[in-house]
Amino acid sequence: MKVSTTTDTLQSWEGTSLIIGLIEGALEQKLNQLERRIGESLSESLKNKAFNAKSGEILSFQLFHGPFKKLILIGLGESNNLVLNELRKATSAVTKETLGNNGVLGIDFPWECFDSNAAVKAVAEALRLSRFKDLRFRKTPEPSIFPENVELINFPESTNQILQEVHPTCEGVELARELVGAPPNFLTPNELANQAKKIAENHSLEVKILDKSECAEKGMGAFLAVSQGSDLAPRFIHLVYKPKGAVKQRLALIGKGLTFDSGGYNLKVGAAQIDMMKFDMGGSAAVLGTARAIAELKPAGIEIHFIIAACENMINGSAVHPGDIVKASNGKTIEINNTDAEGRLTLADALVYACELKPDKIVDLATLTGACVIALGEEIAGLWTEDDQLADDLTTAAADAGEGIWRMPLQDSYKEGLKSLLADIKNTGPRAGGSITAALFLKEFVEESISWAHIDIAGTVWTEKDKGLNPAGATGYGVRTLVNWILKLSLQFK
């Protein structure tokens, strides 16, 4: 599917199907133009169907004599609520409505209400991401037919440049979705490392994979403790993007990479949804998706390290006992009072490793706590950082991507809950404020001079229901936010 913009107007455009986005309370003028173009009256039909262009209303017509075969009217709601997400939502609805129609699709939205680049990007991403379907595990994948060409019509000027960002970004989101969707017998820690290697080889990134003994040499006792109850070997993954020309800033992105989280001896039971815990590598998927996108987009001035401590949290005779004390690579000792709080143990060693690279900023993404899902639900990730600028930048990047994020407090006094009688810290605090103590635990492994943000994506990594741009399944959450953030940072170094 190729997307382009055109200055063709409603009166001159020709194609197979036309989509018109309408604003509630301001239908008249557009409808008049449309009626003139197709040579028939629509007002009676609209009245019969009670179509008022409320957000989400959709109406299709088959035209037998008109200049195109199909006409779809989609409501965008009132003009004062008209935000980019409304365009994303309408585009996704339309994509599903035009399923099975090949040919040329025209889209006429009220572009004048938006920044052109932002609107084009939002619509192009939604066109592609909302039709994502993972057919890798079917015996006979059912084919889907889509329009070959999509033209965004009525554009004041050519706005095709921005479309070059869309393909690499969507490839990154799709990669993340496929990694998260892959079952744990397929996507093992070693397979995750192989996928990372493949990305590096295909896109000229540097790659380093550490095996168990190399991690042991570095003293990664927290990470290795999590993996020791599994038959599958852990892998520590490190990719590097180096820009052409001078490096002005260095970033490290860390993703939680639990290819399966059974909970360990604190086994997941009851409502804990153990069968979904293949998605516990969603942070690493977002990081690899971003790596893939960045390798193609090649932002100037920024060196980026992509870091994943990949393993499984399983049970056997060698598994961690609840109560074990282990030592992380910065020398801090941890009492593992709950083996199901394993993500923070793997991240502890990943954070220490990242700090040794002396980056300016570290961002980690992790499906870290059920508590974050309780606090913010499925559409909003939690963001913790002490750096107000970083908080603002990530919040803006997420808002531009249409990905939900909300800043949460690093309440210092809650550290009390992580006090251990014997070790420097324990890995689990009380149930109340569980996503905050998790973030406070991570903070113990970050050097104070380095600016750091933690994003808990436990709720946003997966959706049971079709959410338009995010069809049911893995969402690829985080890729578009990170890519937006990095591209904006790099603008100052151009």
| Residues annotated as part of the active site | 268, 344
Q: How far apart are CA 321 and CA 265, in angstroms?
A: 7
458 binds, among Mg ion, ligand BES, Zn ion, none (CB under 5 to 8 A by kind): ligand BES
Q: Least separation, in Å, of the C-beta of 129 and ligand BES?
A: 22
Q: Least separation, in Å, of the C-beta of 368 and ligand BES?
A: 6
Nearer to ligand BES, 163 or 272 (CB): 272
Q: Is 457 helix (H, G, I), strand (E, B) or coil?
A: coil
Task: Tell which positions 432-461 bind Zn ion, by CB under 5 A.
Answer: none
264 binds, among ligand BES, Zn ion, Mg ion, none (CB under 5 to 8 A by kind): none
All residues at 6 or more sequence positions from 238 whose CB lies less than 8 Å from its CB, including other chains: 207, 208, 209, 210, 305, 306, 307, 308, 353
473 binds, among Mg ion, ligand BES, Zn ion, none (CB under 5 to 8 A by kind): none
Q: How far apart are CA 40 and CA 62, in angstroms?
A: 12
Q: How far apart are CA 81 and CA 63, in angstroms?
A: 31
User: CB nearest Mg ion: which residue?
Assistant: 340
Q: Least separation, in Å, of the C-beta of 270 and ligand BES?
A: 11
Q: Least separation, in Å, of the C-beta of 315 and Mg ion?
A: 12
Nearer to Zn ion, 237 or 489 (CB): 237
Cβ–Cβ contacts within 10 Å for residue 417, how many?
Answer: 18
Which one, of 101, 104, 91, lies nearest residue 58 by Cα? Answer: 91
Residues that bind ligand BES (CB under 6 A): 261, 280, 338, 340-343, 367-371, 373, 428, 434, 458
User: CB nearest ligand BES: which residue?
Assistant: 370
Site mask for Mg ion (CB under 5 A), range 240-269, x = bound: ---------------------x--------
Does 261 bind Zn ion (CB under 5 A)? Our answer is yes
Q: How far apart are CA 226 and CA 342, in angstroms?
A: 6
Does 456 bind Mg ion (CB under 5 A)? Our answer is no
Instruction: Give, rounded to a whole angstrom, the gap between the first and last alpha carbons of the chain.
Output: 31
Nearer to ligand BES, 293 or 405 (CB): 405
Which residue of 340, 364, 400, 403 would you call a contact of Mg ion, by CB under 5 A? 340
DSSP letter, residue 275: G
Nearer to ligand BES, 329 or 369 (CB): 369
Does 57 bind Mg ion (CB under 5 A)? Our answer is no
At 300, which amino acid appears?
Answer: A
- Strand order in 206-210's β-sheet? 206-210, 235-241, 302-313, 249-261, 361-366, 451-456, 380-385, 404-407
**Tokens describing residue 3:** 């997307």
Nearer to Mg ion, 86 or 340 (CB): 340
Q: Least separation, in Å, of the C-beta of 466 and ligand BES?
A: 20
Q: Which residues pair with 4 in a beta bridge?
A: 151
What is the per-residue burial (b if ≥16 Cβ within 10 Å, else e) of 226-236? bbbbbebbbbb
Nearer to ligand BES, 204 or 273 (CB): 273
Binding site for Zn ion (CB under 5 A): 258, 261, 280, 343
Residues that bind Mg ion (CB under 5 A): 261, 340, 342
